[in-house]
Structure 1
Amino acid sequence: MSRKFLETEGPGWVAEGIISEEQRQKLLARYPPEARALGLLPLLGSILVGLSALSLVAANWQALPNVLRLALLLSSLTGAYAAGAYFLRRGNPDLGHGLIGLGLILFGASIILVSQIYQLVGYDVSGLLAWVVAGVGLSYVYGSRLLVLLTVLIGAAVQTYCVEALGSFSYATALLVAGGLGYYWWRRPEVVSSNVLAVGLLWQAALLVAATHSKITWFFVPAMLVYAVGDWQPQRAGGRALQGPPLVAAYLFMFGLATFGETDTYANVLRPPLLPYLAALAAVFALSVAGKRARGRLDTLLDWLLLLPGFYLPGGLPLAVATLVVLYAHAGSVLARAHRHEDPGQLTIGAVLFVAATMVAYFKLTWAFLDKSLFFLLGGVLLLGLSWYLRRRNAQVLAAAAPPVAQQAGTPPITPPAPSETSSLNV
């Protein structure tokens, strides 16, 4: 159930006497208004203005004297910050945060250009690390999701440069993104910031695996650590938003394993040492279970089905069957949870996952002997049967809950007439 649905249907319920106006207000209080989506105009404006300024200066950079170069950098940097502060004071947060974001971009560009002016050759990331520190600090000062997004992108760019150009992983950059922005997210678990931070942390984890030349399945240990942190978040919406990207990554991996894991050629890429890998994954799993129990979210425990290490099985039929069982079980858990919570969005996701698993099962197991028309017929019958069952269960739940709700709304219960009254009426 969503606030928009309550706002649309609530007045009709009050008019029909199903609930009272006081109860409608209490229901609305349980579903606060969602935060506004991240404004794309300030973000795109900051990026385009920054790129245009950089391209103009870059075209004439070599012809400018060093003093003029420094003056240009300082004036543009201070001008962006001053203009952002001005519009924030005037009550225009979108434009103000956009200009502050532009100043953050110019700050990083200034670091790079100053090093070129004075030919400061560096073999570490200390200069660019200051850029990440500035982004984290500005995110706290202004509390802007735009600055959080820019800082995550800056951290990803700095880490990519370290891995690709310097051949090393910057643990300081990863800690700043995970720790600095992680604490910011914990205090302000907005959905957009949660998704952005989760994607940024997954990128950092992927670069760590690449820099250390580890098996790619080690990626899921830090990825599911991000998921486990979401289990401890008191606000459910923010926690689930943080868990979305890790779950998508795990599902895509399991889907790819079911589709392409036909031979043992993947063994050298996917199979880390068994005991260390399982021990690390079990530790993260225990942390996740503790968080689910503490926050009353054990109904999402079956998300961990996607992390079953089926890649240790031999390729071919055993691996295909095992991964398909996992995909079906996960889709069923999503559908069951959506039914319990009456969540149409999750119900749609569960149906899509069920269809995807069925398609893989057909192409992997029954393509050679099951006619396509029969396959689609069976799939359609299964989905129609599932839809009928869920609608029937939903109607039963609503019918069972209707009398108590009507009584709470103030409708007097209907009592049968007394025996004496009945006899007099018959006469």
Structure 2
Amino acid sequence: MSRKFLETESPSWVTDGLISEAQRQQLLARYPPEAQPLGLLPLLGSVLVGLSALSVVAANWQALPVALRLALLLGSLTGSYAAGSYFLRRGNDDLGHGLIGLGLILFGASIILTSQLYQLVGYDASGLLAWVVAGVAVSYVYGSRLLVLLTVLIGAAVQTYCVESLGIFSYVTAWLVVGGMGYYWWRRPDAVSATVLAVGLLWQAGLLIIVLHAKITWFFVPAMAIYAAGDWHPNRAVGRAIQVPSLVAAYLFMFGLATFGETDAYANILRPPLLPYLAALGAVFGLSALGKRAQGRLASLPEWLLLLPGFYLSGGLTLAVATLVVLYAHAGSVLARANREHDSDQLTLGAVLFVAATAVAYFKLTWGFMDKSLFFLIGGVLLLGLSWYLRRRNAQVLAAAAPPVAQQAGTPPAPGNDNEPEAPAHNS
């Protein structure tokens, strides 16, 4: 249930006598105001204006005098920051942050163009590091999710350049993003910034695995470390937001293993040394479990089922059955938690995961020996039956959550309650 829905519908509930005004205020207090959406128009505007300016200048760059080139760079940079500060003082935050973001983009362009201007050949990323430092700095100064997004993107771009062009991994860039923006997320919790940061950190982790030429499954050690950080954050919604990208990556990996892991051809790319890998993943698991316990979130511990190293099993039926069991157990844990918490959204997610696991099991285990017409007929019947059962279960969960709400609102118990005394009969 969203606050916007409550603000819209709750006055009519008070008018109809379903709840009192005091109870309405309690409901509103339970659902705090939602964060303002990220201003995509200022972001897109900043990017398009920046690209336009860069294309015009780049087309005539060599023909311009050196002094004019420097003047253009400095003028556009200072002009963007000055205009952004002006609109921020006037209370136009979206436009102001958009212009500050444009200034951040132009700062990076100035570094690159100045390097070309003086024919400076870069064998390291020291110049581009200043761009990341500037992004972290302006994010703290202005406290804008737009600037957080740009900084994470800049960090990813600089790291990609280091890996692709220089063949190195810039640990300084990684630590600027992890430490600078991670501390920003911890001190200024925000769901959008958390998700953006998690995706950026996963990108950094993937590039590190590429540079180190390590088994790709090592990726899940830093990925689940990001997940563990969410377990320790006191704000449940924000902690959950930073965990979702890691969970999605783990689920897609397990789903792909269940679908395509028929043979041992994957052994050379998926199987790291057993003991070091389990020790590292176990340490992260322990950190996550301690965080869940400290914040009272142990119910989500079964999400770690997705990290069971089934790729150490031989391919074929053994691996297929093992991964399907994991997918079913994970879907069942989501459904069980949704049932306990009366969470319809989690119930829907669990239903989708259950149907996905059933579809994989059906295709993997029956396609080879069942006639195609019978295959599709039974599959359709199974999916229709699952749809009916899950809809029925969803209705039962919502119905179970309704009586407490009705009692809080002062609705009298339904007739026929054994504990309710009967009204005295009146003689005619």
Retained in 2: the 8 A contact 1:233–1:239?
Answer: yes
Retained in 1: the 8 A contact 2:355–2:386?
Answer: no
Where do residues 123-138 of structure 1 align in structure 2 (5 Å cutoff)? 123-138=123-138
Where do residues 53-64 of structure 1 align in structure 2 (5 Å cutoff)? 53-64=53-64
How well do the aligned residues superpose, as a CA RMSD in angstroms?
Answer: 2.0
TM-score, length basis structure 2: 0.93
Aligned to 1:307: 307
Q: Tell whether 2:326 aligns with 1:333.
A: no
Aligned-partner residue type, residue 80 of structure 2? A
Aligned to 2:390: 386
Q: Distance in 2 between matches of 1:403 and 1:50?
A: 58
Alignment equivalent of 1:416, drawn from 416, 421, 426: 421
Structure 1: 5+ residue runs without aligned partners? none
Shift of 1:342: 3.0
Deviates more, 1:4-13 or 1:378-387: 4-13
Q: 1:94 to 1:394 in 2, by over 3 A?
A: closer
Deviates more, 1:175-184 or 1:28-37: 28-37
Aligned-partner residue type, residue 378 of structure 2? L
Shift of 1:353: 1.4
Q: Tell whether 2:24 aligns with 1:21.
A: no
Shift of 1:403: 3.8
Retained in 2: the 8 A contact 1:136–1:181?
Answer: yes
Q: Distance in 2 between matches of 1:219 and 1:416?
A: 64
Aligned to 1:88: 88
Q: Distance in 2 between matches of 1:208 and 1:265?
A: 24
Deviates more, 1:11-20 or 1:63-72: 11-20
Cα deviations by residue, 1:298-330 (Å, 9 ceiling, x for unpaired): 111111111111101100001111111111111
Q: Distance in 2 between matches of 1:101 and 1:342?
A: 42
Aligned to 1:174: 174
Aligned residues: 420
Shift of 1:25: 0.4
- Secondary structure of the residue aligned to 1:338 is helix
Shift of 1:405: 4.8
Retained in 1: the 8 A contact 2:228–2:284?
Answer: yes
Q: Tell whether 2:30 aligns with 1:30.
A: yes
Cα deviations by residue, 1:233-255 (Å, 9 ceiling, x for unpaired): 11111111111110111111111
Deviates more, 1:213-222 or 1:349-358: 349-358
Where do residues 58-137 of structure 1 align in structure 2 (5 Å cutoff)? 58-137=58-137
Where do residues 192-203 of structure 1 align in structure 2 (5 Å cutoff)? 192-203=192-203
- Secondary structure of the residue aligned to 1:62 is coil
Q: Distance in 2 between matches of 1:85 and 1:396?
A: 53
Alignment equivalent of 1:374, drawn from 378, 393, 397: 378
Aligned to 2:236: 236
Calculate percent identity across the aligned residue pairs: 74
Retained in 1: the 8 A contact 2:178–2:201?
Answer: yes
Q: Larger RCO: Structure 1 or Structure 2 (Cα < 8 Å, ≥ 6 residues apart)?
A: 1
Aligned-partner residue type, residue 94 of structure 1? D
Q: Distance in 2 between matches of 1:73 and 1:11?
A: 55
Q: Distance in 1 between matches of 2:295 and 2:411?
A: 31
Aligned to 1:259: 259
Aligned-partner residue type, residue 421 of structure 2? P
Retained in 2: the 8 A contact 1:231–1:239?
Answer: yes
Q: Distance in 1 between matches of 2:22 and 2:124?
A: 62
Retained in 2: the 8 A contact 1:50–1:102?
Answer: yes
Shift of 1:8: 3.9
Aligned to 2:214: 214
